[in-house]
Amino acid sequence: MRGRLAAGLAALLLVVIAIGAFFHIRRNDASSAPAPRPPSERPSLMLLTTLPLMFPNHFELNAPAPLALKALQSRYHIIPISVADADELDHRRLLLMAQPQAQPAEALVDLDNWVRAGGHVLLLADPALEWPSDHPLGSLLRPPFAFADTGLLAHWGLGLDAPDRQGQAKRVADDRQIRTQSPGNLIATGSDCSIDGDGFIARCSIGSGKVIVIADADFLNADSRQGSDSNLDVLLFELERLEH
């Protein structure tokens, strides 16, 4: 009798474990990335970047869209902008700046005022970009090798250091492993920002707004062999944080 009872309990325990594992796997699968949205439910996302996301290095009618752009378009209505000034920022709330060119002084003031009034921005600031480009050095079409910081990060209470060594690297963000190239290191110099991922990400509360800074932009190059499926998940998760 005791033997049958013990066997029954053991079988029941195995069933419970199996059911728990099943739902754990399903939960992990479901949370692997924010789900695509129907077009009518996609909020506007301003995009300011020098990276070949909206436009490839060479204009080709049949060129496939980069994976990063496809991921963004699955959840947002993308609005490309060329400068972060008041005319572009007004009446919108969400901005992605990915390795932008140096902004004019007036635009930096507008951007800071917009954030403090409630704007939310994800800034990819790479101090050692390795994204390949067909444009010659010095071309305005070529992404800058180092993020053109003209005092904005310091104004928000952050410092950005170049990597100790260049080359392939791994970082962890949102419990996901990122594969990238030569990421930098962020340091909080004030009380408005917290640092995560061993200096990879800074999350800041600036006035009524929010700022997330990632010390890398190469991780967006998911089309390269160095990329990872988790890379774009992290991008979408960080943008989702800014929506709330």
Give the pLDDT confidence score for residue 70 in this predicted structure. Answer: 94
Written as one letter, the residue type at 232 is L
Is 14 found in the same domain as 113?
no
Mean pLDDT for the stretch of residues 66-73: 94
Q: Is residue 155 part of a domain?
A: yes
Residue 103: which CATH number? 3.40.50.880
Give the pLDDT confidence score for residue 73 in this predicted structure. Answer: 97
| Domain span at 48 | 43-242
Residue pLDDT, tens place only, 91-125: 899 999 999 999 999 999 999 999 999 999 999 99
Is 172 found in the same domain as 55?
yes
Is 54 found in the same domain as 104?
yes
Mean pLDDT for the stretch of residues 79-85: 96
Is 165 found in the same domain as 109?
yes
Q: How far apart are CA 196 and CA 30, in angstroms?
A: 24
Give the pLDDT confidence score for residue 173 in this predicted structure. Answer: 87
Is 97 found in the same domain as 26?
no
Q: Is residue 65 part of a domain?
A: yes
Half-sphere exposure of 34 (CA within 13 A, CB side): 22
Q: Is residue 38 part of a domain?
A: no
Give the pLDDT confidence score for residue 56 in this predicted structure. Answer: 64
Q: Is residue 208 part of a domain?
A: yes
Q: Is residue 37 part of a domain?
A: no
List the structure tokens of 210. 């929010």
Please give the mean pLDDT across all residues of the chain.
85
Is 102 found in the same domain as 22?
no
Is 129 found in the same domain as 81?
yes
Is 116 found in the same domain as 55?
yes
pLDDT band at 38 (very low <50, low <70, confident <90, very high): very high
Q: How far apart are CA 128 and CA 163, in angstroms?
A: 7
Give the pLDDT confidence score for residue 63 in this predicted structure. Answer: 66
Is 72 found in the same domain as 3?
no
Residue (of 230, 155, 223) closest to 193 by Cα position:
155
Is 117 found in the same domain as 48?
yes
Q: How far apart are CA 21 and CA 145, in angstroms?
A: 46
Neighbours of 202 (CB within 10 A): 27
Residue pLDDT, tens place only, 56-68: 655 565 667 889 9
List the structure tokens of 164. 């100790």
Q: Is residue 139 part of a domain?
A: yes
Q: Is residue 36 part of a domain?
A: no
Residue pLDDT, tens place only, 127-139: 999 998 776 666 6
Let me know: does 188 contact 157? Beta carbons within 8 Å: yes
Is 100 found in the same domain as 64?
yes
Q: How far apart are CA 223 and CA 190, in angstroms?
A: 36
Q: What is the DSSP string of the chain?
A: -HHHHHHHHHHHHHHHHHHHHHHHHHHHHHTSSPPP--GGGPPEEEEEESSTTSS-SS--TTPPPPHHHHHHHTT-EEEE-S--SHHHHTT--EEEEESPPPPPHHHHHHHHHHHHTT-EEEEE--SS-----SSPTT-TTSPPSS---SSHHHHTTEEEE--SS-SEEEEEETTEEEEEES--EEEE-SSSEEEETTTTEEEEEETTEEEEEES-SGGG-TTSTT--HHHHHHHHHHHHHHT-
Task: Tell me the residue length of the chain.
Answer: 244
Beta bridge partners of 186: 160
Counting the structural domains of the chain, the total is 2
Residue 21 in this model has a pLDDT that exceeds 80:
no
Q: Is residue 20 part of a domain?
A: yes
Residues above pLDDT 70, as percent of the chain: 78
Is 55 found in the same domain as 27?
no
Residue 172 in this model has a pLDDT that exceeds 60:
yes
